[in-house]
Amino acid sequence: MKKPMMAQVSEYTSLAFLLPASTFVGYAIGYLLDKAFGTHFLYLIFLLLGIASGFVELIRRLLRDTKQDGS
């Protein structure tokens, strides 16, 4: 069953915010942990984890959408 046009537009618009949001959340968590523990490297680790999680979710959504369209 085909989704309405506005539903498709909203889903693909949310993809534009997915990667920057997950990157920012990862950085923020690492920054706060660095402040809490007095370290200077956790922000980088969590930044990379945020970027990776953003790409994983982006790929999942795209694969889900292409699977539904191809059926």
Residues 5-39 pLDDT 10s: 888 888 888 888 999 999 999 999 999 999 999 99
Contact predicate 47/23, CB 8 Å: yes
The amino acid at 51: I
pTM higher than 0.75: yes
% of residues, the chain, pLDDT over 90: 63
Tell me the pLDDT of the chain averaged across its residues: 90
Residues 10 and 38: beta-carbon distance below 8 Å? no
